[in-house]
Each structure stands twice: as C-alpha cells, then as structure tokens.
Amino acid sequence: MKLDRNSVIGFVLLAVLFFGYFYFTRQGQIELEKKRKATEDSLAQVTPLKDTSLKIPITPVQDTSTNGARAGSLVQKGGGVEESTTLENDLIRIIFSNKGGQPKLIELKKYKSADSTPVRMVDSAFDKLTYVINTGVNTTAGITDLYFSSGGVKNNPDSSQSISYKLSDSSGKSIEHIFTLHKNEYMVDWNVKLTGADRLFSQNSLNLVWQAQARQHEFDIQGEKRETQIGLMEKSGFDYFTMGDGLNKKFEEGVKWISLKQKFFNTTLISKNGFSFAEINCQVPHDSGHVVANSVANLKTVLPAGSEVPLDFRIYYGPNDFKILKSYKSDLEDLVNLGQGFYAFVKYINRWIVLPVFNFFEKFFTSYGLVIALLTLFIRLLTSPLVYTSYLSGARMKALKPEIDVLKAKFKDDQQAFSMEQMKLFRTAGVNPLGGCIPALLQIPIFFALYSFFNSNISLRGEHFWWSKDLSSYDSIITWGYSLPFIGNHLSLFTILAVVTSLLISLYSMNMTPDQNNPMLKYMPYIFPVLLLGIFNSLPSALTWYYTVSNVITLVLQFVIQNYIINHEKILAKLEENKKKPRTKSKWQEKLEQMQETQKKMEQTKKKTQKK
C-alpha cells in the first residue's frame, strides 16, 4: 500500500499547518516563561521577592498617627476603624470596606475554582483602586489609607442596591464613592462625586492606580497563565497583550476600558469619558503559589473645570461569556478569544456559525457531549459538498490506477519520464491530481475556529461527559510525575481515540489512491496521527471529542459514498470520453512540461558524462 505524490503533498501541508500553528504558539509562550523564570531566579539571589511593581504601598488595617496626619482636615470614620458592608444578587457577592471606600472581597456565586471554593475576583491586599488627593498644605494621601463614612445600603426602585462612602472636611471639600449593583448583573456602577476638585487634585487631573490580582481558578495553572491577557479598547479599536515574562506598556492616546482577562473570567474597568493616558505593568509569578498574574495600571483622567465634578466608572467582575459581555454594548465580547493573531479571521466563523448553532442545541440538550456531537454533524453537513468533491477525485484517481501501473512498468528506472507521462494522463483524462487535497485544506480554518471556540467557551467549564470530568480541559486517564517531550505528564483518552480514528482514515484512503514507486512513502499515513498525539494531548477534551466524532463520520461517509453513491463504471466511461476530447494546455502546464523536459535532458547528459 503506497501513496501517490499528490496525496503526500496534501498530508505534508496538513501536518505543517496543524503542527506549526500549535507548536510555535505554545513553544513561544513556554520559552517566555523560561526566560522570565531565569530572570526572577537571578534577582532572587540578590534580594527577596517583593511586589516591586507597586506604585502605592500596602498599609495595615489599623490607622497610625502617620496616616492620621496625612488625612489633614478630612474626618476619619471612628478614628480609623475598618467596617464592612455587603451587596449581593443572584450572581455575585461583594463585601465593601469603608477603608478606601471600595470592594474588599468579591465572589461569583455560580462558579467554583479548582479547589471547589467560590471563584473570587477580589480577595487580597494587592487588589485596590486608589488615587492621591491633597489633604493639606504640602500633604497628600492615597484614599486606601483613609476611612470613609458609610451611608448604608439603599434599595432602589429598579431592584438594584447602592452603597455610598463619603470623605469630607469643614472647608467643604468632599469625595463620595457610590457603588450600585443591579439585579442579575455582574457589572458594578462606580460613581465618584468630587466637591472642591480644584483643591483636592493638582494639575486638574486624577491619577487612578488600579491593582488587580488574577488567582488560579483552573486545574492547569500553566495553561491558565498562557491564556491570561491584558485586553483594552483604544481609540483605534480592541487590542490585547499576552503576559509572557511580564508586560510594560504605555498608551499615550488613552483607552476607554482595560481588562485583566484570564481563561474564563475577567475584571474590567470602564470609564465613561475614557482615560487620557494609561501605563500597564504586569508580572507573572513562577513559583508554586496560586497567583496567575499581578497587574498594575496607572490611569489618568483629566477633570472638567469647576469645583463640582462627577466621574462615572463601571467595573465588570465576571465570566468570559460572549452573550453577557455583548449585552453591555461596549465591545467587551472581544475579550473572548474566538480567534486571535494570524488566525483572527476565524472569529467570524465562530460568531456567525459555530456559536449560534451551539447555543441552539444547548437549549434542547443537557449533555454537552451530545451538543458537541450534533454541532459536529451540522458542520459536516455544511462541508459535505467539499467532502464529496474530494471522494469523487479519489475515485477518478483509482479509475486511472491500471493505466498508471502500466506507466510504472514502462518507466520503472526513469522517474522523471514517469512523472511527465502521468501528468499527461491526468490532463487528457480531465483529472485534477490535487482535487482531493484542496477541499481538505479548505476545512482547516474550520478546525482552527473550533480550537478557539472550545478553548474559550465557559459553558463547557466543569461539564462532565463519560470519563472526562471537565470538557474545557484535557481528560487524563494516566498521569505521571514528570514531563515527557512532546506528550507532557499525562495521556488523554479522547486524544487516543482521535489518533486511532485518524489512522483508520489514512489506511482506508491508501486503498483509494494509486501506488507510488518510492517505498518510503508508505510511512506517510502514520506520521500525521502521531503528530496529533503530541498536539492534542493537552487540548480541551471537547475538541478531541469533536475530532473523534468527525473522524467516525468521515469513515462512514467514505464507505457509503465509495460503495453506494459513486458509480465507478460511469466515472471510467467519462474518463475515456475525456481522453477523446481535444484539450489545450494552460500556460502553467506548458511551463511545467518545459521544466520536466529540461530536467530530463540534464539527467541524460549527466548519465552520458558518467559513462565517458
């Protein structure tokens, strides 16, 4: 069993595209992690690890005489005693602190982390929203060092809840933070009311420092680090940055919103009027702790003229759910990675085809494994014309097999002459030798679209199917305590099924194509499935399950089409009829034959020279 040269070209193109995409994207990030680790290890030998990126120091809970002096004439609640108040709805629970007048702890009620505790978006001294104000002559303080007075929880007519924190002095200066949590929403409104803004701030600007810590929520923290990004909306549109070995970016033209996005969750700060300047500094710890990344954003807001100044912000603490994010009409749905970088065009396949179909099946079936299988059937029906064209091309090649065998026997020692005669045979019979490869190549964008879709779809998170405990992660059935090259530290069962079914397709296809002289080509059908083993082993089980179902459908279609739909006698008769028709050569065919003829003459000249 052997393959012809054109089938080999198809296999090689598919293998290069698949392997190149996954290898270079993953290897590049792994190399960045190694460089970051080496740098941090070198620094650790000189000084212990600290949060050196912090622009604002973390202070203890109790006030000190120094902090009291910084407050100037501003009235400190209870002389510096921290108090907590809770707002919550069916989706989110937020505990606010009067120290700094901001959230202290935020939990998502419908999601659990890898350790089975609620997903927490804010839960450390690192998380804070702060800015510096003038509290007296040559005296300043960050608001996280100051204690606000709380107005208590207010229930609004629209079923939302609000809480206000106020800081003021006898001269009329005041700062008020009003947080509003709406029913069944993850978005929090944050309104800042400033009185005496011209005295509270220098140079007519508020410099907001936003510190956010991304914690581990998924089982595979290294995979989660690779998926963590900074996303932002600039004037020119959406942009994103991967963490790598750290991130330090400035945006002179300003941004509308900025987000710390993990694999399935994000925290996003939105300004109604935008930020005129932004500087972002991120670090990714390499130790075994449960911190994915630390982000510090310095954001400048130009204040309008006047003493009374209102500022409107919104903060999103929630899942990377495309439908939810799109409902806020701020282009937040761009945070969901449905296609980025070189393959950014596949996001349109996901948005217009894959996602709507998936959501449709999701309404009727509770098993996501079944939903994925139905999605696979739909996609295969959509691409069936391409598949039929591919099989028809294979049948035509098979019909020419006896004649190709005759040419092999005739030109057994002259491969160049055999290739020329084979091309002539294809041309006279009206057969395109690449007809079976082109449809397969056209399906590659669909695969990349599904790779992005299954890797970012939060609906699959924690969903069980057969032996897979989480369709959004790999389904390891065997693990070991060390990492092997190419395969990692585990073995995925759905990956094994995908590899086996791919091998069966390759073996079946070998019988549909003419033989080739080169005996090494018989190993080609085994190369691609082996590549899949290394590529797929750490991918979401939803993707490998899709690929397995798709392969089974391919095997069934191959058998049915070849045996019950395609009439091989009619194909042979049509080829014979084509041979009788006069055909003109294209410029490409003429050039190809000229090259082949030139190469043949060079080989003949070389042989004569060697004999002499």
Query: What is the share, in percent, of the chain residues with pLDDT greater than 90?
Result: 18
What local confidence, expressed as pLDDT, does residue 322 receive?
92
Give 249-272 pLDDT, tens digit per residue: 888 888 899 999 999 999 999 999
Query: What is the share, in percent, of the chain residues with pLDDT greater than 70?
Result: 65
Antiparallel, parallel or unpaired: β 205-215 and 128-136? antiparallel
Checking if the pLDDT of 4 tops 90, the result is no
What local confidence, expressed as pLDDT, does residue 51 receive?
37
Task: Please state, as a whole number, how many other Cβ atoms lie within 10 Å of the Cβ of residue 380.
Answer: 17
Class of 65-336 in CATH: mainly beta
Looking at every residue in the chain, the average pLDDT score rounds to: 76
Least confident of 168-172, 178-182, 190-194, 418-422: 418-422
Checking if the pLDDT of 105 tops 90, the result is yes
**Confidence band (pLDDT; 50, 70, 90) for 389?**
low
Checking if the pLDDT of 428 tops 70, the result is no
Helix (H) or strand (E) holding 141: strand 139-142
Q: Computed over its alpha carbons, how large is the radius of gyration of the chain?
A: 32
What local confidence, expressed as pLDDT, does residue 93 receive?
93
Q: Where are the domains of the chain?
A: 65-336
What local confidence, expressed as pLDDT, does residue 325 receive?
93
Q: How long a stretch of residues is the chain?
A: 612
| DSSP track, 450-500 | HHHHHHH-GGGTT--BTTBS-TTS--EEEEEEEEETTTEEEEEHHHHHHHH
What local confidence, expressed as pLDDT, does residue 17 receive?
53
Query: What CA–CA distance (Å, rounded) separates 395 from 561?
Result: 10
pTM: 0.74
Give 570-606 pLDDT, tens digit per residue: 555 655 555 555 555 555 555 656 666 666 666 667 6
Give 124-173 pLDDT, tens digit per residue: 888 999 988 887 777 888 888 888 888 788 898 988 999 999 888 877 88
Checking if the pLDDT of 239 tops 80, the result is yes
Checking if the pLDDT of 109 tops 80, the result is yes
**Confidence band (pLDDT; 50, 70, 90) for 50?**
very low
Q: Which of 216, 205, 192, 211 is nearest to 269 (CA)?
A: 211
Q: Which residue has the higher pLDDT, 105 or 427?
A: 105
Average pLDDT over residues 17-21: 53
Query: What CA–CA distance (Å, rounded) separates 161 from 182?
Result: 6
Least confident of 14-23, 55-64, 357-366, 377-386: 55-64
89-98, 217-226, 414-423, 526-535: which has the highest mean pLDDT? 89-98
**Confidence band (pLDDT; 50, 70, 90) for 448?**
confident
What local confidence, expressed as pLDDT, does residue 541 receive?
87
| DSSP track, 45-112 | HHS----TT-SS----SS--HHHHHHTTTSPPGGGT---EEEEE-SSEEEEEETBTTEEEEEEEEEEE
| DSSP track, 469-481 | S-TTS--EEEEEE
Query: What CA–CA distance (Å, rounded) separates 307 from 324?
Result: 37
What local confidence, expressed as pLDDT, does residue 46 receive?
37
